[in-house]
Each structure stands twice: as C-alpha cells, then as structure tokens.
Amino acid sequence: MLLQVKDLDISYGDRLTVAGASLELDKGEIMSIVGESGSGKTTVIRAIMGCLPGAGRVSGGSIIFDGKDVLQNTPEQWRHMYGSEMSMIFQDSGNMINPIRRIGDQFIDYIQAHQPDKSKSQAYEMATAMLVNVRLPNPENIMNSYPFELSGGMRQRVGIAMAMIFSPKILLADEPTSALDVTTQAQIIRQIVDIRNEYKVAVIIVTHNIGVASYISNKIMVMQGGKVVEYGKREDVIGNPQHEYTKQLLRAVPIIGGKCYYA
Amino acid sequence: MPNQDSATKPAYERSKLVLEIKHLTKQFPVDDGRVLTACNDISLRAYEGKTLGIIGESGCGKSTLVRTLLRIQPATKGEALFEGHDILKSKGEQLRQDRKLIQMVFQDPTAAFNPKMLVKDILTEPLKNYGLIKKSEVDAKAVELLEMVELPASFKDRYPHSMSGGQRQRLGIARALALEPKIIVCDEATSALDVSVQEKVCELLCRLQKEKNITYLFIAHDLGLVDLMCHQVAVMYLGNVVEWLEYGRIAESCKHPYTRALMKAVFKVDFRPGEKIEPIEGEIPSPLDLPPGCPFASRCEHCTDNCLNNKPKLKEIEHGHWVACHLYD
C-alpha cells in the first residue's frame, strides 16, 4: 500500500473541519474525492501534502506514505519529498507560476533546485522532453512564453509537466479541470490517465464533477460537511450508492437526453 | 395538446416571437489595424416563455453576443427587433426603457453585488432607478422578491458576503426579476455552482419562467445542462452560429461535426467499462486570422478541400433545424 490514511482529523484552530477520513491507495490507482464546496475535500489532500494553510493542523489519525509516517516529518524532510515523491497540480496552474518570468526560466530553476548537479542545458532538455510528453507541440515556444500568453488548457499541461518531471509516486490534483471548457477538460483528463499509465503514479483528484470522477477513478470518496459519507470502488459508488447524499449528488448531474427541467 | 404540438412543430410556428436578431456582427479593432470578429452575421430568434440556449467554448463569442444585445457595447452591423423596434439603435429614454425589460444574471455571484449594500437595497435599487418604489415600500418589496426565489425573508437585512454561492445566485435572479422583465440573460449563471445547487437554481429558473412567461437567453458550456434547460439551442464556434435547433432535443438531432464532438467530450456518470471519451484535438484558432473556409475545418475529422476554401452557410436542413456544414449541402 502506497498511501494509508487512517481516521484523519483536521482542525483549523479549535474547529474540527474534517473528521475521521480514511483511505488507501496503491501504486497506479486513481482516486477521486467528490463533494460540494466547503465539504473538506481540498483540506484532506492538503493534509496529505503537509501544507495546511494558517492555523490548520492534523489533530488525530495517521498518514502513512510509502511506509513512513509523514506527520512526523520535519520541514526539511517535507522539502525533500515535494516534487520528487509527491507533487500537486492546482485548479489554475497559471496562478502558481510567476507571471512576470518566462515559463522556461522557472521550469529550469525548479529542476535545478531539486537536482543541483544538472546543468542549465540538461535541465532545458529535460523540460522540453516533458512538455512534448504532455502533448504540447513546439516546446521551445512554450519555454519562451509568459504564463498569460498560454490558454488555460496549455497552462494546465505545463502544470502537469512540472509536477511529473521527477516522476513522483503520488500526484495530487486539486480541481484540475474546473476552470476549463468541456473540450479542454476532456483533453486534460485523458492526459492524466496517460500519465498514470506511463509513470504508474498514484493520483488523487479532487473534483466536483461526478462525471469526471466516474470516468477516471478506481476509487471514489464522497464527502459532505467534513465527513466521508461514502468510500469504495468506482463501480460500487456509482452503480450502487448507499448513502442518500451520494444518490442525490448523482441525480443532480445534468445528463444529455435526461429529464428536462422545464417539462 | 401542447406536448404533441412541441414535438411536431418548430417554435416559429407556435410561439410568440419576442426577440429577433438579424445579421448581428460585432468587430473589435486591434492595435495593429486588424479587426477581431467576435460575432459574425448572427441571426437567432427567442420566443415568449421559452429558453434559448447558446453553447460554445470560451472565446466563441457567446458572451459578446449578449453584451451587444444589452448595449454594454455597440454593435458593428445588424439589428435586433424587440417590442417592434431595433434595440441596437435605441437612444436616450428609449434605451433606458429597453434595459428595464432585458435584465441579466451574472456568472460570478460574488462580484455581481456591491458588498457594502444590504440585500434589501440591492434588490430594490433597480426599482428606485426607474422611480417605481417609495422608501416605505422597500422592506415589503424585498421580502416579496426573496420569497419568489425561495430565500428566507430575514435575509433582507444581511449583506451578500454572509450568504453561500447558491443563495447569492438566487439573489442575482431576484434582482433581475425586480423590474418584471420580458427577457433575462443568464450568462453562465450556474457555472460557478456545485451540481446539487445548480440543479436547484435551474428548477427555480424554470418555475419562474412558467409563472411569469419570461424568455431566457441561457449561455452555458455544459451541453448536458443546455439540453435539459433549453427549448431552442444555438451552437457557436469562433463567432459563428454553426447549428441552430428550434425544436426537439439536441442529443437526438444534432448534425454538425462540432456539436457531435462536444457531445463526446461530456463526462457521463454511468460510463461503461472500456468506454472512452474522445476530446476534440487542438485548440480553438485565433479569431484574428480566421480561415477563409469553415471555421471548424482545422479540427474537423470530415474536412475536405471544399471546407478549407468555402465557408458553409447556415442552411435549414429540416424544419426548424439549421446547420452550417458542407456535409449537408
């Protein structure tokens, strides 16, 4: 088991935000966390990544990643894990990139920060190879662009390329397609599946799109108000939902050819 | 038998026309002397008490279209007939009266309100603007509007920041309803909401439509939602209407390769194992250098030489169904 989270409690100050979340993830598996905004889905993956904001802290339970209890990590140990063992992509990868520096410069900095023995040209080679790998044609162009010059879908691919450059064991994706069009969303989701198949990386996707979760996942976790209300294999959660909230969520998804609202 | 009627007759034979857009073109000048054509020769019709859905990817000109209709920006060419006159040419008091009858619900319910105004003031400000309300009536009217959108009356003394996203979007709808408009434009009105909240807001919109016989222009990029919400559907690509369906359901009758590709990119809940999504490759080309032929040619799997050189016109291929594609010449 690559990742084992048991009875995780997360508090902001004195307020318990997530209570008793448990999950297990194996190499090459994709898990989705679905739920409404404010249900604590992002908080869970931030806890796994050790980057809860502000007064957030893990107040109970354990997170075992690759045989190690990451809750005991020092900041220095975390820093070594980021990028090479765990990495994250965000809702809009354009926001995590410095807007006034070229993508190439930042990508090279990022590689050299983790592998100081790499020369600039070696890092450039690595970066362009990775950009091609995520289906970005003309990587030289991309390396020479500022983030605002790229479309949302392209920025998201750059984000995936940066996250995957050191082939981490787990990829955490926080609403990776929520800011995208349907067509681009489909492209990015397929890209994530391809990346999983190629690198055998475990993926946790936080999304509110149940269609996406149903398409991509091996496991699905449904959260409501800081609690896990349903967790299991994709087939079971989608095909035979037990909890009333899951059923309600599944019904609410607009389906082409479904029952009209105006009828 | 209204049901049978709607299944057999296109909208223009059975419903009252409210808004008729004729050959609307909107161009923006760009710094280097070129022009960006955001909306190219668009003709659409909206009917009383019906919803006209407009779908397309970002950058296809759907928001520009409604912004032009609302006179937020001037049109380059074309006309839009509403209540017997061309709203694109209204001036002064006439324009003010037009705006009263065409209201808008915005995408981002957080940014749509003044954070320093109380809910009751937000709701009644449109009425004050038109001199339709006395100070003493503000509370009663605010309560009435809140109840219309199923919010508790006590919300009238709150500020928008103390409400959830779904509640704020209801507030946006209530504000649009205040002036009893004929048309409400919903520009991605539910895109920022969770699915369960979206469902409730859509049900509310449909209930209000039946009660008040309002026409909606419903802009969205979620094909599933448009299919469930809209009576008429227009699909836009790069500033052009490529498919326009006035009756029936888009899922069954869509013909244009772009619409069909959009359908394949929608994530269904009940995927069968092994079933794959097939996203359209590539990105939407820049509207600055439009190809001479079909705008969709660069991404279309049926593309021929004819498509590259000649732009297909919107043709009625069956009763109430227009497609702009050389496959249906």
Residue A131 pLDDT greater than 90, yes or no: yes
Quote the CA–CA distance of A160 and A87 in Å, as a whole number: 9
Quote the CA–CA distance of B285 and A164 in Å, as a whole number: 28
Q: Which residues of B touch A251 (CB under 8 A)?
A: 199
Quote the CA–CA distance of A33 and A25 in Å, as a whole number: 12
> For residue B115, what pLDDT is reported?
94
> For residue B286, what pLDDT is reported?
81
Q: Which two tokens stand for residue B88?
A: 């694109």
Q: Which amino acid is at B10?
A: P
- The vertex-B228 CA angle with B222 and B230, nearest 5°, equals 90
> For residue B1, what pLDDT is reported?
38
Report the interhelical angle of A152-164 vs A120-133 (nearest 10°).
120
Strand runs labelled E in B61-117: 77-82, 85-86, 102-105
For the segment B200-222, what is each residue's pLDDT rounded down to a tens digit? Answer: 899 999 999 999 999 999 998 88
Which B residues 204-263 touch A at CB under 8 Å? 205-206, 209-210, 221-225, 227-229, 231, 249-252, 261-263
Residue B120 pLDDT greater than 90, yes or no: yes
Average pLDDT of chain B is 88
Of A20, A118, A211, nearest to B271 (Cα)?
A: A211
Q: Which two tokens stand for residue B62?
A: 């759907």
Residues sharing a CB contact under 8 Å with residue B7, sequence separation 6 or more, in sequence order: B247, B248
A108 with A127: CB under 8 angstroms? yes
Residue A112 pLDDT greater than 90, yes or no: yes
Strand runs labelled E in chain A: 3-12, 15-25, 30-34, 56-65, 68-69, 86-89, 170-174, 202-207, 219-224, 227-233
For the segment B30-56, what is each residue's pLDDT rounded down to a tens digit? Answer: 888 888 899 999 999 999 999 999 998
Of all residues in chain A, the percent with pLDDT exceeding 90 is 70
Residue A261: strand, helix, or coil: coil
Q: Tell me what ipTM this predicted complex has.
A: 0.79
For the segment B247-265, what is each residue's pLDDT rounded down to a tens digit? Answer: 878 878 889 999 988 888 8
Of all residues in chain A, the percent with pLDDT exceeding 70 is 100
> For residue B8, what pLDDT is reported?
62
Question: Which range among A48-62, A124-138, B187-201, B265-279 shows the weakest confidence by mean pLDDT?
Answer: B265-279
Residue A3 pLDDT greater than 80, yes or no: yes
Q: Which residues of B touch A152 (CB under 8 A)?
A: 58
Chain A interface includes B117 (CB < 8 A): no
Average pLDDT of chain A is 91
> For residue A53, what pLDDT is reported?
86
CB within 8 Å: A255 and B229? no
Residue A232 pLDDT greater than 90, yes or no: yes
For the segment A170-212, what is each residue's pLDDT rounded down to a tens digit? Answer: 999 999 988 788 888 899 999 999 999 999 999 999 998 888 9
Best of A30, A151, A157, A182 to substitute, by most chain B Cβ atoms within 10 angstroms, is: A182
Quote the CA–CA distance of B220 and B174 in Å, as a whole number: 20
Residue B79 pLDDT greater than 50, yes or no: yes
Of all residues in chain B, the percent with pLDDT exceeding 90 is 57
